[in-house]
Structure 1
């Protein structure tokens, strides 16, 4: 009887273990089937939307490559591509703003597809700044290279002295002025006046802002076109001087004789920028202070004093533009 009970108990245990093993096999099989279904769904989704773009980590190794410039330019406007990038049915790659106009050039431009892979390439392709020979070590996204070069602090400027061919960044030019030319270099504080001698023709004072190291030339151009008097003008030494955003400073100039303050001339204006490629700034190309001969040749023989105060110009605040305002402008 005891022996029979023992065999029954053993059989029950084996049956229970076998049930557990069977259930485990079923669960493993279900997990494998779910994994296969997940892979199939990913493949189907990939077939619909295209291959996934894997984000590049910031610490990934970098390489220098050469690539045809045309591959990074829009086929419609011919400008550098910027994300988002699209492709028409004829495989022409265009920027988002050209999708409407590209249809006038391509008969198969009825539909466009977003190129996420090209977005990643265009957004990551970097080039060395064109001003690298002058000290800029920046690598800039290709589509933004032009904007960087317009504002690059290493963009070269020229020495205005006739016969001197030096060309370099503003910082290098400042060192050149101090070592190779007899021009005084004075550090100034913004919003505080500085007293100088009236510069002689084709000579200048070099001023350096103590905060941002901006460089200014105070010069008396020759000929000045004001008879026997003198003209004094101020320029910020900066490349891309024709840029609309170049006027970052304003100045006040006045000339007086120390013992005769009744005779004084004064002028306030924005400071123009120049890369000095054409030599010293010309008086007729901007605002200048006219110093009459009565102040230059006082009877007392005293030397007139030129005072200058440079302030940072307040940045212009753009007025908000509403959709309603834009619509009204189009109707006008």
Structure 2
């Protein structure tokens, strides 16, 4: 209701239809009736203690955290904190200097970049200083509270002027009074006592104003500040089953407005509160549903490349399907952990002896030659970038060729694939061994998969000639099954994982 919109601050009021009002706006409404639904049966406003607790629990980091402030304050108090924050940024008194930081950071900057150590002073004690006029400004610091002051010198008519300011961006902080007794050679002493003036020092070019005793810099352009909310996770979970709340959400009409998720609500008595025993009934908590629907968190696999911000109650489902879930490296002993796309770069950089990572199209047969001593070969699909791994192993006196899709989340709704792998033997096509199978997934948590893992085909060692193994491989994406379709219900479905077909089996389209 407030123009422009301001953060909700307790006490918060709500009408029966869920419209909200802060205390200031409610006091201006005639008869305490909701202005949105006065003709629609919404009724008068009433206190909303549950939302008061939620609003107080929503905390944000100070926007000046990059300048050293470590406070997390309730969102409704963030503006007031920002006005008082001692880490609010200021500029540098040196004209043309691009520094921007807190007063404490300014001390280090001046010492390092302008080689001017700060002059220490203490409150309530006089300090005699001898300052050259060639230096237009000097920094003073009170060590107990780390307050920073700027003493500047300038010309005023035929004489000179001395001004003192406290370097801070927030003028609402505690005021201080100073006494200045300047003296110059061959000139009569002049004394003055005045309140230390507070000026905001921001980025820009310097300006000396000796008459009013202030040194200021031209203000910098206003910058947009993005805030990240910090909220206790308990506010977003059902107090009964402790699972994340998702619409619809119900609240009992008692003083504490005890909550229940949809599943728990169906199992609770409807005419008295399960927690405090108050007589009443449940109703939808539209306000909390809006809050829960807008509460988003970054994917836990953000460090591996996922940029999704997902609704909190959908985060677990997203994590189970995220294509950036980390996997390992097929090389034994390699400590790599990263997404499949990161694995491609890792193999190229750290294991170049296994050859370049091939890019292959789906739906076409292509040839691959591997040395018998080569344990694995990686390649990826041109269409979607999925990473696959062909590996060699020994199983019962035979050489096995297995193929897996490298990913940690291989279940639905991830894309599914089928493959055909042909081991080309010297005797011609009639002697070749072949298998057709659905492609399994592997996160490679223990290195290259075991010889019997995934889709594999075995060939007697004596049938192989030379030092190389010749393969023909084809991979096809499987169609997305219709909702509710049973696995394996169609006659053309893929055989069980790892089950090879006869070498004369035909490719199933």
Q: TM-score range by the shorter chain?
A: 0.7 to 0.9
Task: Determine if contact 1:254/1:264 at 8 Å carries over to the other structure.
Answer: yes
Alignment of 1:149 with 2:145, yes or no, is no
- Match for residue 97 of structure 1? 263
Shift of 1:153: 2.5
Shift of 1:248: 0.7
Shift of 1:88: 2.9
1:134-213 matches, within 5 Å, as 134-181=304-351, 182-184=353-355, 185-198=357-370, 200=372, 203-213=375-385
Return closer, same or farther for 1:39/1:80 CA change in 2, 3 Å cut-off: closer
State the alpha-carbon separation in 1 of the partners of residues 412 and 252 from structure 2: 37
Query: Alignment partner of 2:455: what SS?
Result: coil
Task: Determine if contact 1:258/1:304 at 8 Å carries over to the other structure.
Answer: no
Q: Normalized per residue, which structure has more helix? A: 1
Shift of 1:50: 7.0
State the alpha-carbon separation in 1 of the partners of residues 47 and 302 from structure 2: 37
Task: Determine if contact 1:247/1:271 at 8 Å carries over to the other structure.
Answer: no
Alignment of 1:252 with 2:423, yes or no, is no
Task: Determine if contact 2:372/2:469 at 8 Å carries over to the other structure.
Answer: no
Q: Which runs of 5+ in 1 are unaligned?
A: 1-34, 54-60, 321-332
Query: Alignment partner of 1:283: what SS?
Result: coil
Q: Normalized per residue, which structure has more strand? A: 2
State the alpha-carbon separation in 1 of the partners of residues 31 and 252 from structure 2: 33
Task: Determine if contact 1:255/1:305 at 8 Å carries over to the other structure.
Answer: yes
Query: Alignment partner of 1:117: what SS?
Result: helix
- Match for residue 301 of structure 2? 131
> What is the aligned counterpart of 2:231 among 57, 67, 87?
67
- Match for residue 46 of structure 1? 42
Query: Alignment partner of 2:437: what SS?
Result: strand
TM-score scaled by length of structure 2 = 0.48
- Match for residue 399 of structure 2? 230
Return closer, same or farther for 1:257/1:40 CA change in 2, 3 Å cut-off: closer
Deviations 1:201-251 (A, max 9, x none): 662111111111111000113xx3221x2111111111224x355561110
Shift of 1:70: 1.1
Q: Which runs of 5+ in 2 are unaligned?
A: 1-28, 52-224, 486-509
State the alpha-carbon separation in 2 of the partners of residues 62 and 81 from structure 1: 26
Query: Alignment partner of 2:480: what SS?
Result: coil
Shift of 1:67: 1.2
Query: Alignment partner of 2:334: what SS?
Result: coil
State the alpha-carbon separation in 2 of the partners of residues 199 and 311 from structure 1: 26
Return closer, same or farther for 1:62/1:50 CA change in 2, 3 Å cut-off: farther
Query: Of the two structures, which has the highest relative contact order with CA contacts closer than 8 Å and spacing of 6 or more?
Result: 1
RMSD: 3.3
Task: Determine if contact 1:226/1:290 at 8 Å carries over to the other structure.
Answer: no
Deviations 1:50-74 (A, max 9, x none): 7999xxxxxxx86312111111011
Query: Alignment partner of 1:213: what SS?
Result: coil
Return closer, same or farther for 1:231/1:49 CA change in 2, 3 Å cut-off: farther
Query: Alignment partner of 2:244: what SS?
Result: coil
Q: How many residues align?
A: 273
- Match for residue 311 of structure 1? 476
- Match for residue 429 of structure 2? 261
State the alpha-carbon separation in 2 of the partners of residues 135 and 165 from structure 1: 19
The farther-off stretch of 202-211 and 308-317 is: 202-211
Alignment of 1:88 with 2:213, yes or no, is no
Query: Alignment partner of 1:219: what SS?
Result: strand
Deviations 1:165-190 (A, max 9, x none): 11112111101111211223111110
- Match for residue 275 of structure 1? 443
Shift of 1:277: 1.1
